[in-house]
Amino acid sequence: IGPNGMVIDKDGNVLIAQHGNRRIARRNKAGVITTLVDRFEGKRLNSPNDMAFHSSGALYFTDPPYGLLKQDEDPKKELPYNGIYRLVGGKLTLLNKEMSRPNGIAFSPDEKWLYVANSDAARKVWMKFSVNEDGTIGPGRVFADVTTNTEDGLPDGLKVDAKGNVWATGPGGVWIFSGDGKHLGTIKPNEAPANCAFADDGATLWMTAKTSLYRIKLK
């Protein structure tokens, strides 16, 4: 059970969501790895999964139980929920504990909305939360629901482009939605992708999958 999502901070350090180590680690340019956060109110995090920076510098991340062998039933699980958190100035705040498997996370371009994927076979949805001025989030609402889709894969990593379209890995491929939830299309590589990222100012999409790394030129 190794690392999962990664982001780069303003100083060029790589932040790594480490499942097995149940922490977010920071690797600096010299290769030195330190713990950024691994506990909430004295209890071990489950297994940080994915992260997104707000322009304020606050780090938002999800904490499902995938890094624990028995997941919610694992005796090593110290928190009774799977949360969405905000880390700023060394202070960790729990924003939401209602999602069963919070996973991919990203902001809309204007940062008024936060999107979070739910990687649960029983409830394959993407949620949308309003972002308050103090950095907290409002109650979530279902942005898109693909629970009835039987293709391989679950809602997982996601990104939002400059126009506010959501690019979300899910059953069968990368689902593309407009900001109001309209399904615009799906990109389907040879296997179900788990995460994605833009390059070339949005002209290229990279996709990680079970065995391979894919890329596709975008219009």
Rg value, the chain, Cα: 16
Cα torsion angle, 83, 96, 61, 164, sign: positive
Quick one: pLDDT at residue 219? 87
Quick one: pLDDT at residue 11? 95
Q: What is the mean pLDDT of residues 29-57?
A: 97
73-132: pLDDT as tens digits: 999 999 999 999 999 999 999 999 999 999 999 999 999 999 999 999 999 999 999 999
Quick one: pLDDT at residue 138? 97
Quick one: pLDDT at residue 44? 98
Q: 185, 192, 184: which is closest to 208 by C-alpha?
A: 192
148-171: pLDDT as tens digits: 999 999 999 999 999 999 999 999
- Indicate yes or no: pTM above 0.95: yes
